[in-house]
Amino acid sequence: MRIFLNRLYLCFKRSFKNPYIYVMAAVLIIMASVYVAVPAKESSAYIPVGIVDLDGTDRSAEIIDSLIETDSIFSFYEIEDEDELYTDLASGKCSTGFVIPEGFTDESLSVYRIPKILLVRTNASTLPLMSGEEVFRKLFPDLARRILIGSIERTDIPLTDDYEQVLSDIFNSYINSNEIYRLESADGIEYGDLSVKNKIELPVYKFCGFFIFMAALLGVLACLNDSDNRIYLRMSRTERIFMGLILPAVHVVPVAAVSVISCLITGTVFSPLRLIIYCAAVIILAFIVSVLFDLIPGQGRKSRIFSAVLPTYLILSFLFGGVLIDLSGYGPALKLLSMMFPPYFF
């Protein structure tokens, strides 16, 4: 037992002399600190909608004022002419546009004409049809009432005060019911100050997985260096297996500890069980790699060959392991390629 603890102590002491461990720890802590230090950028979540009034009547002005005061996710604002509307759409200042045409108010009172408001949208427009529903919600009650009164006035039916009151009550009962038209948001939601906070995205969690794997490979390199120097020559097979496992482990443990600290600093949600399983998996994989490279004949060649292969494999792991970009969603071939690198599974 004393020999075991002594070797474990020496292996940990050796791993802490490796400068790459401190470099990886520093990178994780710096990334976490930058994430915390940079404040979230707050931006409006309203969807801007422009309106052009070519009708120029008091009624059209009332419609626009009503839309501007609408409490919804759409922020309506008035635009002077159509050219300005198309300019705002092209620049992204507004998402969708509406044009109230000339003669709209007169046509809305006609039984034989259908009043139309022009909807202008682009491929980048957000919820254009829903914004049209919002416009229709403002127009429907008043226009329906005007059309009804106008239709009755064109008949010979005398519209007495009592008759008008009864008709108004019936009309209001339909307007206020869900049988004709209803556009509602969730009850209790107010859109007085709608904004979103965008936090800078740093792949701290994926970097943790990559550095843990890299630390395990550094343990393999240390093991192969010992093998080339014939340090394990008098050790039994059990002792060699122990060293093949313990060297990657003592390199992984400090990096894993710093990874946990980084996740706690950034508030990244992670599963401790998954972290433990991942660390155990990369340690076992590192042990298998060290065994395979240990089969290479010739003294002093094992660590040199591994040192030559290691940078290339780490670069490929960084690119295809999903550290910066998850390539697995770009087709089965790239997904299969990504699965060849352990950081993909973290």
HSE value, Cβ hemisphere, 13 Å, CA-based, for 42:
3
- On whether the CB atoms of residues 88 and 94 are closer than 8 A, the answer is yes
Rg (CA), the chain: 35
Question: What does the domain layout of the chain look like in residue ranges?
Answer: 2-39+203-345, 43-195
Selection from 183, 85, 180, 196 nearest residue 127 by Cα: 183
Higher-confidence position of 171 and 44? 171
* Helices and strands per DSSP (H, E), number in the chain: 12, 6
Q: What distance in Å separates the CA atoms of residue 135 and residue 10, rounded to the nearest whole number?
A: 75
The CATH code for residues 43-195 is 3.40.190.10
DSSP class of residue 115 equals -
The CA distance from 256 to 175, in Å, is 64
Residues 6+ apart with CB under 8 A from 327: 320, 334, 335, 337, 338
Lowest mean pLDDT among 62-76, 125-139, 174-188, 315-329: 174-188
SS3 state of residue 25: helix
Q: What is the pLDDT of residues 71-92, one digit of tens each?
A: 777 888 888 888 888 888 888 7
Which residues make Cβ contacts (< 8 Å) with residue 333, sequence separation at least 6? Answer: none
- Whether the CB-CB separation of 342 and 316 falls below 8 Å is answered with no
Q: What are the structure tokens assigned to 145, written together?
A: 């009432």
Most confident among 14-28, 34-48, 113-127 (mean pLDDT):
14-28
Interior angle at CA 141, CA 139 and CA 146, nearest 5: 90
> Each residue of 110-132: pLDDT tens digit?
656 666 788 888 776 777 777 77
Phi and psi dihedrals of 118, rounded to 5?
Answer: -80, 125
Distance of CA 308 to the CA centre of its chain: 38
pLDDT band at 43 (very low <50, low <70, confident <90, very high): low
Question: How does pLDDT run across 197-218, given as a tens digit for each residue?
Answer: 566 677 888 899 999 999 999 9
**Residue 75 three-state SS:** strand
